[in-house]
């Protein structure tokens, strides 16, 4: 009996030692475009192991995240897949003008299920009635969807495909539709196709002249209680290691948009 009591005392003592450390651990809340999921997940783990600062990620469509922040959702750093939603927060005085920084760029690609029998060979073929359903992100809240509409409009395809468009709540949902064969084709970022590996096939890369530059805009929030910590993590993303990790996931450098037309290869391809 005494042994059991002694064991409880020891456990209680260690609990007292551990609990204050957890309570005092610094946490940065980051709301980020879901296309950054894999890269940011990796970087957050590395950063936490080195600094002890915990990164809490909230991922989704940039527009939805911006709306949540405006409604009071906790966030210290916002990373959007377009400039518009950061501007919205700036105009609402949630983000300070001049503090936004670009951390990476991306490309837009047309993908089809890996086992598709007679897939479209490019964007022009989307006008063919044999392409039954085409998935894109909801343009109002999903930047990838807005870029997709820009491409379809520039190529004069929007009217031809309008009745066959299927909208995803974020770009990863679009990817899931294609992976599952629920649609004939989808328009996503090249990094999404890279993460999907052999489940999808890239058939075309959008000419950059047909859409706005695809850049990821990051900005700390004015009222953040962890603003300094958020800015340090942002510096990390823009540093050599952060940029290398982003590049390994298919993202292009923060400094300037890439001019190479080729999309990132899918995992498992030579």
* pLDDT tens digits, one per residue of 147-165: 999 999 999 999 999 999 9
pLDDT band (50, 70, 90) for residue 197: very high
Residue 134 has pLDDT above 90, yes or no: yes
In a domain, 66, yes or no: yes
Region label for 109, one of left (φ > 0), alpha (ψ between -120 and 50) or beta (otherwise): beta
In a domain, 257, yes or no: no
Tokens 């328009």 belong to which residue? 187
For residue 111, count CB atoms less than 10 angstroms from its CB and return exposed for 0-12, middle for 13-18, buried for 19 or more.
Answer: buried
- Regarding whether 74 and 40 lie in a shared domain, the answer is yes
- Regarding whether 232 and 162 lie in a shared domain, the answer is no
Q: Output the pLDDT for position 257.
A: 42
Q: How far apart are CA 99 and CA 231, in angstroms?
A: 10
pLDDT band (50, 70, 90) for residue 264: very low
Cβ(105)–Cβ(147) below 8 Å: no
In a domain, 266, yes or no: no
- Regarding whether 231 and 196 lie in a shared domain, the answer is no
Taking CA atoms, 118 is separated from 9, 113, 225, in Å, by 70, 10, 54
- Regarding whether 232 and 205 lie in a shared domain, the answer is no
Q: Output the pLDDT for position 4.
A: 42
Q: How far apart are CA 175 and CA 135, in angstroms?
A: 8
Q: Output the pLDDT for position 187.
A: 98
- Regarding whether 90 and 11 lie in a shared domain, the answer is yes
Which of 210, 226, 257 is where one domain is finished? 210
- Regarding whether 90 and 27 lie in a shared domain, the answer is yes
Cβ(110)–Cβ(122) below 8 Å: yes
- Regarding whether 242 and 116 lie in a shared domain, the answer is no
In a domain, 114, yes or no: yes
In a domain, 261, yes or no: no
In a domain, 267, yes or no: no
- Regarding whether 201 and 83 lie in a shared domain, the answer is no
Mean pLDDT of 243-263: 72
- Regarding whether 221 and 193 lie in a shared domain, the answer is no
Domain that holds residue 171: 108-210
CA dihedral of 95, 99, 103, 108, whole degrees rounded to 10: 60
Regarding beta strands 108-113 and 200-205, do their DSSP bridges make them parallel or antiparallel, or are they unpaired?
antiparallel
- Regarding whether 146 and 92 lie in a shared domain, the answer is no
Give me 202's structure tokens: 């890239």
Residue 79, SS3? strand
Q: Specify the DSSP class assigned to residue 82.
A: S
Residue 270 has pLDDT above 50, yes or no: no
- Report the largest interatomic distance among the alpha carbons of the chain, rounded to a whole angstrom: 83
Q: How far apart are CA 151 and CA 161, in angstroms?
A: 12
Q: Output the pLDDT for position 133.
A: 97
- Regarding whether 229 and 166 lie in a shared domain, the answer is no
How many structural domains is the chain composed of? 2
Q: How far apart are CA 193 and CA 77, in angstroms?
A: 26
Which of 182, 210, 238 is where one domain is finished? 210
- Regarding whether 114 and 101 lie in a shared domain, the answer is no
DSSP string, 86-132: HHHHHHTTSB-TT--EEEEE--EEEEEETT-SS--SSGGGGGSTT--
State pTM to two decimals: 0.84
Residue 52, SS3? coil
pLDDT band (50, 70, 90) for residue 255: confident
Mean pLDDT of 82-111: 96
* Average of per-residue pLDDT values in the chain: 88
Which of 210, 232, 257 is where one domain is finished? 210
Residue 10 has pLDDT above 90, yes or no: no
For residue 9, count CB atoms less than 10 angstroms from its CB and return exposed for 0-12, middle for 13-18, buried for 19 or more.
Answer: exposed
CATH of the domain at 133: 3.40.190.10
Task: Using a pLDDT cut of 70, give the percent of the chain over it.
Answer: 85
């Amino acid at each position: 009996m005494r042994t059991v009591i002694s064991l409880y005392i020891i456990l209680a003592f260690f609990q007292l030692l551990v609990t204050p450390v957890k309570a005092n651990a610094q946490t940065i809340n980051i709301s980020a475009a879901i296309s950054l999921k894999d890269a940011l997940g990796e970087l957050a783990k590395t950063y936490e192991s080195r600094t002890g600062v915990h990164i809490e990620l909230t991922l989704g469509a940039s527009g939805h995240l911006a709306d949540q922040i405006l409604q009071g959702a906790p966030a210290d750093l916002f990373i959007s897949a377009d400039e518009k939603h950061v501007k919205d927060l700036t105009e609402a005085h949630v983000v300070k003008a001049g503090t936004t920084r670009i951390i990476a760029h991306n490309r837009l690609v047309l993908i089809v299920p890996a086992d598709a029998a007679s897939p479209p060979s490019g964007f022009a073929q989307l006008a063919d009635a044999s392409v039954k359903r085409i998935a894109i992100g909801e343009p109002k809240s999903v930047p990838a969807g807005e870029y997709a509409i820009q491409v379809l409009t520039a190529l004069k395809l929007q009217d031809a495909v309008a009745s066959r468009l299927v909208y995803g709540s974020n770009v990863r949902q679009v990817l899931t539709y294609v992976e599952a064969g629920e649609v004939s084709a989808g328009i996503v970022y090249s990094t999404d196709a890279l993460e999907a590996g052999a489940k999808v096939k890239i058939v075309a890369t959008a000419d950059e002249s047909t859409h706005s530059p695809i850049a990821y805009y990051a900005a700390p929030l004015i009222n953040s209680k962890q603003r300094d910590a958020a800015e340090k993590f942002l510096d990390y993303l823009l540093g050599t290691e952060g940029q290398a990790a982003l590049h390994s996931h298919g993202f292009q450098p923060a400094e300037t948009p890439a001019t190479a037309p080729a999309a990132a290869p899918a995992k498992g391809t030579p």
